[in-house]
């Protein structure tokens, strides 16, 4: 994409912002070197000259559309599953979230955040969740991946997109819950934070509702990955990020040893309950969005479709300014380097997308050196 298009996108962003300001009522393992562990060989692709998505490893694996990493072909070329995940302190730790290839986090009503975890390989997980209700912006995000979308109810605006506009194939866990091992979703107690699914449950839900799990032949991967890595050589240093979300107060700290960002919230490590391991990301995308509050409610709306905005791409201890663009309800959001105008190439690994309300983006703090961040010391 040409630099002129990026300039046009920025102009459109500013115009959209002016319109929105006067429109309060808008429409709706690092390996353990012990003898007891099996050393895994790094499997090289059969043909390094093959296009990234056509590469096949010697043991038959393919490149994941979510992470760019090697994944079993049985999962890597089927439709992903997106699961709504609760993110209040009462629900921690979450189960199975560490297996997701992409995670979205957005502020919902009351200042709390909610997550959507997207999986291509969700095999072998005995518990995933807990599952919470849908919001409209998550429906838009899930549709970009042609994902089967699992949630527990939702607000009216979300169901308008699910039922009336048919943007996604969905599994409403509230309508398919039952006994673990026999139903798509199950409860571990009587409280509101007790609804879960697992690998077998997802399969049962898909079968019960008759959804096709195969990706279409013309499927467009959501991201572009840098086969040889992207060091963001033109970017600024970024070793720590304190997000403005004021309820869970999340932050990320970069580890130079493995090149990953480690996730914290509620002043503690955020871990997966199954593995006990801290959540990490190779790529972090900050997506600044216009927003509003639905009249007569606390529900938020994000202006995503037919829109553009600014943000940042963070990886390998570096950060660049970006522009994002989404042409339609189910169209993929594309992210472009603000300076070069080229679509960004992610590093292979897990990606977190942090949707940030544009009015509060200045409250997010980026630290070039993590020693300057008190919580990192």
Q: Whole-angstrom Cα distance, residue 18 to residue 25?
A: 14
Q: What is the CATH number of domain 225-282+306-376?
A: 3.50.90.10
Q: What is the mean pLDDT of residues 45-57?
A: 73
**pLDDT at residue number 194:** 96
**Which of 326, 24, 323, 23 is CA-nearest to residue 167?**
326
Q: Whole-angstrom Cα distance, residue 107 to residue 93?
A: 19
Q: Whole-angstrom Cα distance, residue 154 to residue 293?
A: 16
In this predicted structure, the answer to whether residue 16 has a pLDDT above a threshold of 80 is no
The DSSP bridge pattern shows strands 195-197 and 185-187 to be: antiparallel
Let me know if the fold of 49-209 is the same as that of 225-282+306-376.
Answer: yes
Backbone angles phi, psi at 99, to 5 degrees: -90, -5
Question: For the chain, what are the domain ranges?
Answer: 49-209, 225-282+306-376
249-285 pLDDT per residue, tens:
999 999 999 999 999 999 999 999 999 999 999 999 9
Mean pLDDT over the full length of the chain = 89
Q: What is the CATH number of domain 49-209?
A: 3.50.90.10
**pTM as predicted:** 0.88
Here the tokens at position 51 are 């296009």
């Amino acid at each position: 994409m040409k630099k002129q298009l990026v300039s046009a996108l920025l102009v459109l962003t500013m115009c959209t912002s002016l319109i929105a300001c006067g429109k309060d009522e808008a429409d709706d393992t690092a390996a353990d070197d012990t003898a007891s562990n099996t050393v895994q060989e790094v499997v090289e692709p059969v043909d390094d000259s093959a296009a990234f998505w056509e590469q096949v490893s010697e043991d038959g694996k393919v490149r994941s559309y979510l992470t760019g990493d090697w994944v079993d072909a049985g999962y890597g070329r089927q439709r992903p599953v997106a699961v709504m995940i609760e993110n209040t302190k009462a629900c921690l730790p979450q189960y199975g979230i560490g297996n997701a290839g992409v995670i979205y986090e957005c502020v919902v009503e009351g200042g709390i955040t909610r997550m959507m975890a997207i999986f291509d390989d969700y095999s072998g997980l005995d518990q995933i969740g807990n599952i919470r209700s849908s919001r409209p912006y998550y429906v838009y995000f899930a549709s970009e991946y042609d994902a089967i979308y699992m949630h527990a109810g939702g607000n009216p605006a979300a169901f308008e997109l699910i039922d009336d506009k048919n943007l996604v194939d969905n599994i409403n866990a509230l309508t398919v819950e039952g006994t673990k091992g026999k139903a798509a979703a199950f409860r571990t107690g009587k409280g509101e934070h007790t609804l879960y699914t697992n690998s077998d449950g997802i399969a049962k839900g898909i079968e019960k509702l008759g959804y096709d799990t195969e990706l279409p032949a013309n499927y467009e991967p959501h991201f572009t990955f840098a086969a040889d890595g992207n060091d963001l050589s033109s970017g600024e240093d970024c070793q720590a990020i304190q997000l403005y979300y004021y309820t869970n107060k999340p932050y990320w700290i970069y580890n130079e040893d493995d090149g990953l960002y480690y996730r914290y919230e509620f002043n503690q490590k955020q871990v997966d309950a199954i593995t006990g391991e801290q959540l990490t990301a190779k790529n972090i995308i900050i997506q600044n969005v216009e927003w509003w509050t639905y009249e007569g409610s606390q529900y938020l709306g994000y202006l995503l479709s037919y829109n553009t905005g600014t943000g940042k791409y963070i990886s390998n201890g570096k950060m660049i300014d970006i522009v994002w663009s989404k042409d339609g309800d189910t169209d993929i959001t594309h992210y472009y380097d603000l300076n070069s105008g080229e679509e960004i190439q992610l590093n292979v690994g897990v990606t977190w997308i942090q949707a940030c309300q544009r009015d509060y983006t200045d409250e997010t703090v980026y630290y070039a050196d993590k020693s300057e961040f008190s919580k990192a010391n």
